[in-house]
């Protein structure tokens, strides 16, 4: 089943918000809607889509800024890993730290814990647990696409010097990602351009080092 991924770059952190839809259907999944909700709505309207759920890889302020508006407008549930509660609870303080306006903190409808996959309509979403950047960081694998949040970037990896970050844990998560997914699948990070693991393993200094030690 073929899917289409639309990326909308939002907010001062240039965060990647994603709309995932099936080529022949109107239902869509929203992943990490970070800011500027109207930009996301405009794309949804342009493509005549019907959002059915919001999934977040983690709860940093630049990834959740549009969640509440979209959740309310489309009356759809918001899913987040339970270990992200500490990050979500720090939302207001994080906004103040960066001098950003405080928007409504999202209400989580479903806290994820040990689930390995979820089904929404005709979407099958595989969950890959990748803590390290944050305590409850997860990736979503849908068909040929993997949404990794801030776990992995083109040429880099997520920072671990913020609340709940842990470099040793992130290294283990990256090794788990390397060992558990097809290296030809498209990696959609939370910032910057798409990539593939087969490229990162020969060009990303962090992954080269890890792979040599696997």
Q: What is the CATH number of the domain that holds 179?
A: 3.60.15.10
Specify the number of domains making up the chain. 1
- E strand or H helix at 198: helix 197-203
- Give pLDDT, residue 2: 86
- Give pLDDT, residue 213: 61
Residue 132 is given by DSSP the state T
Query: Is the pTM of the predicted complex or chain greater than 0.95?
Result: yes
- Give pLDDT, residue 209: 85
Angle of helix 167-180 relative to helix 205-213, nearest 10 degrees? Answer: 80
Tokens standing for residue 63: 């990834």
What span, in angstroms and rounded, lies between the C-alpha atoms of 98 and 9?
19
- pLDDT tens digit sequence for 171-195: 999 999 999 999 999 999 999 999 9
46: containing domain: 3-213
What span, in angstroms and rounded, lies between the C-alpha atoms of 57 and 142?
13
Tokens standing for residue 1: 């089943």
């Amino acid at each position: 089943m073929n899917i289409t991924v639309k990326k909308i770059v939002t907010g001062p952190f240039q965060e990647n918000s994603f709309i995932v839809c099936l080529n022949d259907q109107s239902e869509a999944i929203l992943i990490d809607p970070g800011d500027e909700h109207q930009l996301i709505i405009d794309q949804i309207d342009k493509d005549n889509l019907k959002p059915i759920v919001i999934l977040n890889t983690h709860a940093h302020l630049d990834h959740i800024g549009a969640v509440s508006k979209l959740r309310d407008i489309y009356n759809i549930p918001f899913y987040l890993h339970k270990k992200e509660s500490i990050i979500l609870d720090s939302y207001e303080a994080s906004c103040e730290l960066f001098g950003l306006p405080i928007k409504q903190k999202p209400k989580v409808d479903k806290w994820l814990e040990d689930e390995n996959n979820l089904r929404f309509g005709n979407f099958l979403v595989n969950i890959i647990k990748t803590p390290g950047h944050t305590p409850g960081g997860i990736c979503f694998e849908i068909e040929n696409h993997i949404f990794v949040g801030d776990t992995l970037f083109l040429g880099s990896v997520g920072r671990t010097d913020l609340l709940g970050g842990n470099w040793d844990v992130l290294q283990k998560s990256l090794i788990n990602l390397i060992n558990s997914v097809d290296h030809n699948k498209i990696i959609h990070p939370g910032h910057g351009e798409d990539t593939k693991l087969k490229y990162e393993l020969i060009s990303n200094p962090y992954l080269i080092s890890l792979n040599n030690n696997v």
